[in-house]
């Protein structure tokens, strides 16, 4: 199982080994930031060789995305609760974007990765898997997408657009910072026509 080392306290299972590596990575990220965290740093923090870390995470990208994913579930549930009071398609989409722009940088695990100077994490978010998860989240909302002529297949495209907007708003903010209400107005102005009720729908 590759449990040699581990500071004299080897984990009992593969799952615990992965969890130990993720916790060590998070500590390294907090201490050194994304740009300066390496496999060697993580291995030293855990008390194993780099080869042992590679056994569980084949690349640094896999490791960083796993750290982010470990903090995603609680974040998604908080967003779901927040969106429960926004039942229309436009309101749900706008509020989801605003929530992510405001709250993601504050997430201890996800926020650190968003500070990366390259687009490693960004590519992960807009990957087919990332888009699929976002679309699945949209489908889980108590929103009548059909009322605005958005089909189930359309939700994949909408999810991708939302992820790209969120990434752009966070990585390339306006010269004059936008407040949450400013973001609502800005996003709603341009997405409003696309998410307007279908003709004949009240």
d(CA 46, CA 51): 12
| C-alpha closest to that of 141 among 196, 69, 198, 90 | 90
State pLDDT tens for residues 91-148: 999 999 999 999 988 877 776 655 554 444 555 567 787 788 899 999 999 999 999 9
d(CA 119, CA 124): 9
Give me the residue spans of the domains in the chain.
6-67, 71-191
Sign of CA dihedral 191, 193, 194, 199: positive
Segments of the chain with pLDDT less than 70: 1-4, 111-125, 198-202
Q: What was the pLDDT predicted at 18? A: 95
> pTM (2 decimals)?
0.72
| C-alpha closest to that of 13 among 21, 3, 22 | 3
Q: Show the tokens assigned to 69.
A: 């994913």
**Under a CB-based contact definition with an 8 Å cutoff, are residues 89 and 143 in contact?**
yes
d(CA 20, CA 26): 10
In CATH terms, the superfamily for domain 6-67 is Homeodomain-like (1.10.10.60)
Q: Show the tokens assigned to 83.
A: 């969106």
Fold of 71-191: Tetracycline Repressor; domain 2 (1.10.357)
d(CA 11, CA 15): 9
């Amino acid at each position: 199982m590759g449990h040699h080392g581990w500071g004299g306290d080897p984990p009992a299972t593969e799952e615990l080994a992965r969890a130990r590596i993720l916790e060590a990575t998070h500590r390294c990220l907090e201490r050194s930031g994304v740009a300066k965290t390496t496999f060697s740093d993580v291995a030293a923090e855990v008390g194993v060789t780099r080869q042992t870390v590679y056994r569980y995470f084949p690349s640094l990208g896999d490791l960083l995305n796993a750290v982010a994913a470990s903090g995603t579930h609680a974040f998604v549930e908080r967003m779901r609760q927040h969106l429960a009071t926004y039942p229309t398609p436009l309101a749900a989409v706008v509020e989801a974007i605003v929530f992510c722009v405001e709250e993601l940088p504050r997430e201890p695990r996800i926020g650190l990765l968003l500070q990366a100077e390259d687009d490693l994490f960004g590519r992960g978010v807009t990957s087919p898997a990332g888009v699929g998860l976002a679309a699945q989240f949209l489908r889980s909302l108590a929103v009548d997408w059909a009322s605005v002529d958005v089909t189930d297949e359309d939700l994949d495209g909408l999810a991708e657009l939302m992820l790209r907007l969120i990434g752009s708003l966070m990585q390339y903010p306006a010269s004059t910072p936008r407040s949450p209400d400013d973001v609502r107005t800005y996003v709603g102005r341009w997405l409003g026509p696309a998410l307007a009720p279908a003709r004949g729908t009240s």
